[in-house]
A and B are shown apart, each in its own frame.
Chain A
Amino acid sequence: MAGVRYVGASRVYAKGAKPAVDVLDLDIKDGEFMVLVGPSGSGKTTALRMLAGLEPLDGGRIEIGGRDISDVQPKDRDIAMVFQNYALYPSKTVAENMGFALKMQHVPKEERTRRVHEAARILDLDEALLDRKPKALSGGQRQRVAMGRAIVREPKVFLMDEPLSNLDAKLRVQTRSQIAELQRRLGVTTVYVTHDQVEAMTMGHRVAVLSGGKLQQCASPRELYDNPVNQFVAGFIGSPAMNLLTAPLTEGGARLAGAVVPLASSVRVAADRDKLTEIVLGIRPEQMHLTEVGTSDTVPAAGGPARSGASPASADPGSAVLLGDVVLVEELGADALLHVRLADDGGSVVARAEGRKPPAPGQRVAFRVESADVLGFNPANGARLAG
């Protein structure tokens, strides 16, 4: 077993084109489940294929267990890959598929059979399936055979390229937890590529968010969610996505929907330092707390004292109350998503509300927002404004 290190690794597909992977530095620890996530074209799959040896490096190097493997043949890198379409050999039985790599390594037949059965047992794969051809299997079974083919090799690193994308939604959720559990049990370093941020968040020990070939942030799911380093990560991680609203800066905060959203002092300092007049506010849907609409129709916009005239909920100086009209309600059962158009042309937001009695479309609602929950981003470059 071993860790994996990308050191300034780059891949340029065509001369003069933008690099598919641009000077990637990533340190994956021994036994870690690392998820590479990003939209299509972000370079996540290319990064994985570079590690597999299916794409050459145009710069930098990649190490497995401290050994530079940049110029090592794929078969000698001691890795195993699970492909998106499983890539099983149609003419071979399940057992032959799983044992093919061992056969190529001239592992004796008894040992091969033992390891194939062992892998089948680990994966809960029916022994009767071992003699079948892949086309006789269901999608979920094929996926497990593809996993099994990786497991029997007992590699240093598992590479997985969107292995769940061909399964239906229910099976995907089930298999997701099985893979995570399996990885924990085997303790093999795993690099997992997905475009699905929910998969990334639920499976990864750490998640590396890529965009445009560049690493945006690599951190634990919790850290990514709570402390995104830029607007891209903030918008990409989380479902529904974080509300990102551009608002002009005023004394003590940012003006939004006729109210002043107070900002943490560190955000204000950073905004002053960058001499910003506008700021992008980031507020998670669940941090828009539904509250009573005050007697006055609009919340006075001026500084602290004036706000006391509004609804009682806004009395706290560390918070603000935003008014808006519900446009659409998506009921999810346990909770409901409110699509709200903020007052004073403040833009559209999504808020998470208690599922039992959500407001009806067309209804005027008020949200309390705590200053500690409001993230600030530089509108010019998307960088996080924080102390």
Chain B
Amino acid sequence: MTAVTATDAPAQAPTAPKRSRRVREITGLAGWTVLGWVVGIAFFLPILWMFLTAFKPESSAETWPPKFTFSPTLAEFRLVFSGSTPVGPFIEHSAIATVGSTILVLVLALPASYALSIRPVGKWRDSLFFFISTKMLPIVAAIGPLYVIALKTHLLDSIWLLIILYAAMNLPLAIWMIRSFMLEVPTEMLEAARLDGAGRFREIGEVIMPVVSPGLVSTALICVIFAWNELFLALNLTVTNAATMPMFLISSVPQEGLYIAHLSAAATVASVPVILVGWIAQRSLVRGLSMGAIK
């Protein structure tokens, strides 16, 4: 067999190589495309399953293999919004904690990143490392002290506690992100502003902000996503007064009985804001920073 192909090959050689290379290119491309789709679908399938299950009646939710034909119902959604534990307060807590912490993060991160990029303070490298080092400690190790502090300051099960902790959680990342955006502001433009007589606040407000604002938006959106999805701190430090959306998902799992469809409906409700925000963040990130100031 090998001997045959070996003798055949030279005879075909003069006409073959050009076409075979082209064929190889096309099949290679197709191969990558197929692989891309397979991986993409593999990642998306659980979400699709969750979404579909949310519209199933509880009885037909837990079948194997999963059924893709069924008569959709909104019953489980109705239960999520007006069952024995309605989702309303959870959404409210999550929204307050998310928006509040994100605003706090931006208010703190903006001057911090300015002082670490455009007019770097002494030892700025150490400061930058300190910020990121706070993310290295496993949060589990800190939960004990945090609980005690919250208890002593009467902040247990309080939305303020979540705002503060979520801000602390997202601050390092926000500082690193905004700093990198600020480094993109051309030095010449800042010098031009100095010569034009812009003070520190004008410089930030009128020169730096317009350039970094797309970056600020994407930073804010990432903070929103992280705060919205946070479970560990909420689970350990809140009960009812400040319980957030992920807490609702946990509470959707009953002690007994079928719950898959109900959980799927709740998870879908919880995912909608994040998917929306993620979609917006993607667009604003793509819009990028370079706005044509510098050639």
B-contacting residues of A (Cβ < 8 Å)?
52-54, 74-75, 79-81, 83-92, 100-101, 104-105, 133-135, 139, 142, 149, 166
Contact = CB atoms under 8 A, between A and B. Distances in A.
A104 B202 contact: yes
Nearest to B198: A104
A87 B198 contact: no
Interface in B27-78: none
A74 B194 contact: yes
20 contacts: A52-B191, A54-B194, A74-B194, A74-B195, A83-B192, A84-B188, A85-B186, A85-B295, A86-B188, A86-B295, A87-B189, A87-B293, A89-B206, A90-B210, A91-B291, A100-B198, A101-B196, A104-B196, A135-B293, A149-B196
B168 interface: no
A383 B186 CA distance: 42
A88 B210 CA distance: 12
A87 B191 contact: yes
Interface string B172-199: 0000000000000010110111111110
Interface in B209-227: 210-211
B191 A83 contact: yes
Contacts of B202: 104
Interface of B: 186, 188-189, 191-198, 202, 206-207, 210-211, 291-295
A89 B195 contact: no
A268 to B, nearest CB: 52
Contacts of B192: 81, 83, 87-89, 149
Instruction: List the 3 closest pairs (A to B, CB-CB), nearest first.
Output: A135-B292, A91-B210, A75-B197
Contacts of A88: 189, 192, 293
Contacts of B211: 90-91
Q: Name, among B202, B291, B295, the residue most crowded by chain A CB atoms within 10 Å (CB to CB).
A: B295
B95 to A, nearest CB: 31
Nearest to B199: A104
Given A74-B195, A87-B192, 19 more contacts: A53-B195, A54-B194, A75-B195, A81-B191, A81-B192, A84-B188, A85-B186, A86-B188, A87-B191, A89-B192, A90-B292, A91-B291, A92-B210, A100-B193, A100-B206, A101-B195, A104-B202, A105-B197, A142-B295
Nearest to A77: B195
Contacts of B193: 89, 100
Nearest to A85: B294
B263 to A, nearest CB: 47
Nearest to A139: B295
A83 B194 contact: no
B47 to A, nearest CB: 38
Nearest to B207: A89
Contact of A80 (B195, B198, B293, B295): B195
Given A87-B186, A87-B189, A104-B202, A52 B291 contact: no
A7 B198 CA distance: 29
Nearest to B192: A87
B196 A134 contact: no
B202 to A, nearest CB: 7
Nearest to B188: A87
A166 B295 contact: yes
A162 to B, nearest CB: 11
A51 to B, nearest CB: 11
A36 to B, nearest CB: 18
Contacts of A89: 189, 192-193, 206-207, 210, 293
